[in-house]
Structure 1
Amino acid sequence: MCMQHDRHPIFCLIPPYLLDQIARNGNKEQREAALRTRAKDATFRSLRMTAQPSRNPPLLAATALAGKRRSIYTADGSETLPGKLVRGEGQPVSGDPAVDEAYDGLGATFDFFAEVFDRNSIDDAGLALDATVHFGKAYNNAFWNSAQMVFGDGDGQVFNRFTVALDVIGHELAHGVTEDEAKLMYFNQSGALNESMSDVFGSMIKQYAKQQTAEDADWLIGEGLFTKKINGVALRSMKAPGTAFDDKLLGKDPQPGHMKDFVHTFDDNGGVHINSGIPNHAFYQVATRIGGHAWEKAGRIWYDALRDPRVRPNTGFLRFARITSDIAGRLYGTGKGAHQAVKEGWAAVGIDV
């Protein structure tokens, strides 16, 4: 995410510590791209902090519309949103990879939530899905601003275009689901849980599109985002947090996978992109222990937990873990396979429910 916690956060994909690493260690062109991205993110933060709630009109279920409604715009290298409409719902491929990847990614995300959780778009009220591609010059990020998706093209040296990974699109749109259901504060453990929910949904969206089992999935977030010049396979690994990259420019993946390695920091909104590795790994442990498709039982437990009224804005790992355990017992039987898998999965990351 780009910013500190406030009423209207901007959810960015690339953690600020990665941009800082590039600004410190990169060549002139890489540093300039990283600094431009950081400056834009700071501007978005300021704009959102001064935004009034009335600018976000209430979404009423009574006016909900069924079916996908996608609109893909291009900023053509400018910083104007939404930009020029390039492809609308049902229109043929444009021939622009970024446009068509965004269109397909938004559709795959809509289909996942509709078919798996019977959810009508991000807000469960038929919200139209809009996205802008080719935003800015060498913009090294993608974000959800509570109204639409925005994708940069990357700098071509560190990052490829940000539409290339389906789980990235799913991750960002899933912030809208969390925002709608739980309003988790974007700071410390609740913020890391917020990030983890997006990784969980993003990974499941990719797995659902490929019809992969939990055992067959790679559990990587952002595979393909790094260029071949970077020694890394993805931004994060839910299967093995801390192993996604180890590069002289970016440093080593800092994510922990266990509470004993929890990172106490004020950077990155209290380590929201770092400590998310812990609940990420817990979900991986639960899904692989249950077996089959992750979205069938493990995903249902996490989704129901996100919507549970016991989840408060400041909910941390332990409270959320206890809620998932309670829901697993209620859905699949106390002490039975799925319930036991949830308890063991959280225990594997140092959280006893």
Structure 2
Amino acid sequence: MARPDDTIAHRGFTPPYILERLREHGSPRQRRFAEATLTHDRSFRAVRGPQPAPPLPEASAPGRPARYIYSAEHSETLPGRLVREEGQPGVDDPAADEAYRWLGATYRFFWEVFERHSIDAKGMPLIGTVHFGQDYDNAFWNGAQMVFGDGDGELFRRFTVAVDVVAHELAHGVTERESGLVYAGQSGALNESLSDVFGSLVKQHHLGQRAGQADWLIGAELLTEAVQGRALRSMAEPGSAFDDPVLGRDPQPAHMDRFVVTQADNGGVHINSGIPNRAFYLAAQALGGYAWEVAGRVWYATLRDSRLSPDIDFAGFAALSIDNADRRYGRQSREQQAIREAWQAVGVRA
């Protein structure tokens, strides 16, 4: 069956249903920047395959990132003007310094926890562009680099402010390199969920938080005080992140009995990701300790499993994660049981 956008590299952070709601219910200015963001996103989705990166040095040495931060200077030209590269001091630009810092935190997480050397595991330079477009309410991975808007300043802050947003986009690159999950339907929701999982784990790793200490919110720092909400998504309680007169109510389901069947958003990739998100949260909570030590390792092993097909569904991913827990910790182990029960709790039968 043909799937929309199978080969498109663009992976945006802000769900289109939020931008569409803003376009319909926002103030005249809010409607303008929502429409502008949607237009930009559609134009990038029309470009198929990874986008070319600027010429850069060879891969960095293992354990060392190679970060290159550019400024689009409010244009839509990528990558833009180079403003900071690896080893250079901070510049008089909070967005550039945040992108540099959080790309470093994400690299450290993947290296220290999984011994993964950058996006491609071979030292690929980490390229980030800030100040993309005018009032651009999104961030995205385009197959070659991460791109961050400044937000509109009324509802959304700049998209570099939150480490999990930056990590979310970098993780799309990891998923693309490892499994090429089709960005539609349940495989697309798994693609989005994996970016949320690793985004949250990077945040927890950076803060030194155990599973029970973490807020499990995605983009908590992104929303301004004008929004009635805590974040864009909640892994602990999908559907509870926001309830706002302009942005609407968080539509994510937490269980398969509320799975959303839709043609929008590539078959609901940002909506139905709430189900595997909650499964990971439940597994991590049951296991305790640092979430990346057991549940995170199992999810990463599953992402890299050669049996993971690009169009895998929730049940297939759940079965592989249970099998990977079995291989690592043993059949009927506490770890395997916790992961099996987490999937069952959200209505996914492996």
TM-score when normalising by structure 1: 0.95
Q: Which residue of 2 aligns with 1:224?
A: 221
Q: Which residue of 2 is the match for residue 10 of structure 1? A: 10
User: Equivalents in 2 of 1:54, 1:230: separation in Å?
Assistant: 34
The structure 2 residue matched to 1:80, chosen from 77, 80, 85, is 77
The alignment partner of 1:321 has SS state of helix
Which amino acid in the other structure matches residue 38 of structure 1? L
CA distance in 2, matches of 1:305, 1:271: 22
1:320-343: CA deviation from partner (whole Å, max 9, x where unpaired): 000000111111111111011011
1:30 is aligned to 2:27: no
Q: How does 1:1-353 map to 2 (within 5 A)?
A: 4-46=4-46, 48-49=47-48, 65-66=61-62, 67-353=64-350
Q: Which amino acid aligns with 1:282?
A: A
Moved more, 328-337 or 179-188: 328-337
Q: In 1, Cα distance between the equivalents of 2:90 and 2:269?
A: 37
Q: Deviations over 1:242-293 (max 9, x none)?
A: 0000000011000000000100001100000000000000000000101100
Residue-by-residue CA offset, 1:32-54 (whole Å, 9 max, x unaligned): 000001111111111x23x5x79
Q: Structure 1: how far apart are the matches of 2:80 and 2:52?
A: 19
Deviation at 1:227, TM superposition (A): 1.0
> Is the contact made by 2:51 and 2:144 (CA closer than 8 Å) also made in structure 1?
no
Tell me, in whole angstroms, the C-alpha distance in 1 between the residues paired with 2:246 and 2:51. 43
Aligned partners of 2:189 and 2:268 also within 8 Å: yes
- The one-letter amino acid paired with 2:29 is E
Count residues with an aligned counterpart.
Answer: 344
Counterpart residue type for residue 147 of structure 1: A
Shift of 1:56: 8.2
The question of whether the paired residues in 1 share the 8 Å contact of 2:69 and 2:130 is answered with: yes
The separation in 1 between residues aligned to 2:27 and 2:4, in whole angstroms, is 28
Note the alpha carbon deviations across 1:137-160, whole angstroms, 9 max, x for none: 101110111111111000111111
CA distance in 2, matches of 1:321, 1:54: 32
Q: Percent identity?
A: 56
Q: Which letter maps to 2:5? A: H
- Structure 1 residue 86 displacement after superposition: 1.0
Amino acid aligned to 2:80: G
**In structure 2, what is the Cα distance between the partners aligned to 1:333 and 1:347?**
19
How far off is 1:93 after superposition? 1.1
User: Would the alpha carbon gap of residues 79 and 181 (structure 1) be closer, same or farther in structure 2, given more than 3 Å must change?
Assistant: same
Distance 1:16 1:312 in 2: 26
Q: Which amino acid aligns with 1:214?
A: A
- Cα distance in 2, alignment partners of residues 298 and 343 from structure 1: 11
User: Residues of 1 paired with 2:249 and 2:53: CA distance?
Assistant: 39
In structure 2, the CA distance between the partners of 1:14 and 1:261, relative to structure 1 (3 Å rule), is same
Report the 3-state secondary structure (helix = DSSP H, G, I; strand = E; otherwise coil) of the residue aligned with 2:147: strand
- Shift of the 54–144 alpha-carbon distance from structure 1 to 2, 3 Å rule, reads closer
The separation in 2 between residues aligned to 1:249 and 1:25, in whole angstroms, is: 5
Q: Tell me the CA shift for residue 95 of structure 1.
A: 2.8
List per-residue Cα deviations over 1:4-26 (Å, max 9, x = no partner): 42313201101111110000000
Gaps of 5+ in 2: none
Q: Distance in 1 between matches of 2:28 and 2:53?
A: 40
8 Å Cα contact 2:51/2:143 also seen in 1: no
